[in-house]
Structure 1
Amino acid sequence: MGPMKKIPGQRSPVECARALDQALEAQRARTALVRAVRNGEVDCVQALERAARDALAGDMLAKDFLLALPGVGPAQTAKLMTQLGLSDGRRLRSLAPGQRELIGAAVRS
């Protein structure tokens, strides 16, 4: 018998560890962004601009970001998502500049 062939789609232990490290790093970046917004260190518009530049923060779902904003609950999040025509799976990095402005304006009012 020769060397074992790698099954397509199967990761080696090293690849699994690397993927886990990358996932943890991304989660920490999103958590840091949410914490900064909740504590008032970063306002909504600044956070959206940061997410547009930062791939890790940009992976956050728009719905989760809106829920993290102070004073915005599930009902208001659903209303904003509908008004902006955003699906539940929409990521912050994929928002158009106009959509980011609309979110900022809606949260300020």
Structure 2
Amino acid sequence: LFINEQLMINPSPGNIYRAIQKDDFFNGQPLLNYLPFDNFPVVTGDIARLHQLNISEQMYNYYYSIFNLTASSPVSGDVPPGNIKGNIVNLNKPDKNALGYFGACSISIKTKSI
């Protein structure tokens, strides 16, 4: 969410906003008039822009696991207690897990003048 080109939501773990959400109730259907966070005041003349990234269920599970492990810590940026297995393979040492996740997503951007 951007208001007047200023990023309003930092997607880092530990914030009060859920930057990653399941689509259990939408199941791939278009979202109409969706308001994810309504506690950012806007006034006449402001421009709001929302970016929605659409990711696969596997990618969601990977990022959600990281978010849950790090958000439970009172220290911002704390290291997860264990490795979260991604989908990248170490070809030279297959017994060693590579760190990370490779994925692609589509993005929807909506802009509204208030």
As a proportion of its length, which structure holds more helix?
1
> Taking CA–CA contacts closer than 8 Å with sequence separation of 6 or more, which of the two structures ends up with the larger relative contact order?
2
TM-score of the two chains, using structure 1 as the length reference: 0.28
TM-score of the two chains, using structure 2 as the length reference: 0.27
As a proportion of its length, which structure holds more strand?
2
